[in-house]
Amino acid sequence: MNRRLFVQGGVSSLWAASTIIASAADAPSRSGLAWDYVFFDERFAEARRLAREMAGVTAALPVQGDVTGVWTRELARASIATPLALTGVTTESFLFCLRILLADQGRVDAQVSRIGRDLHLWTLRTDNHSKHGTTS
């Protein structure tokens, strides 16, 4: 790969990430006020920065690649009670496990973009009134 293509690819990925962040920040939850949950992998400075931009009035929750703690503390109950609007900047493993757990409660609509070697920027919306599995 030559230098020009490398630079163009880097600029394109930055533009794509900023576009996704803008759409994620503007996309309200079902209540129209805020995201229900905003997650970020605290091991990555880029994840912390992007989560601050996306969170709005919702407190961003730091994670480190494992969804188990937040799932058992609150998310399992919340996902049964009502449809959720979630967003985050995390590793693929966190997102994968979260989607599997949420799919057990109902349908999950996802928008996912890779924003670096280790990070994914994503939004998930659940519909706990139907048991149709995950969609992307």
Local structure of residue 114 (DSSP, 8 states): E
What local confidence, expressed as pLDDT, does residue 5 receive?
58
pLDDT digits (tens, 9 = 90+) for 67-95: 999 999 999 999 999 999 999 999 999 99
Residue 1, Cβ density class (10 Å: 0-12 exposed, 13-18 middle, ≥19 buried): exposed
pTM equals 0.71
pLDDT digits (tens, 9 = 90+) for 3-58: 655 555 554 554 445 445 444 445 544 445 579 999 999 999 999 999 999 888 88
**Containing H/E element for 18?**
helix 3-26
| CB proximity list for 94: less than 8 A, separation 6 or greater | 39, 41, 63, 65, 66, 67, 88
What are the start-end ranges of the E strands in 68-106?
85-90
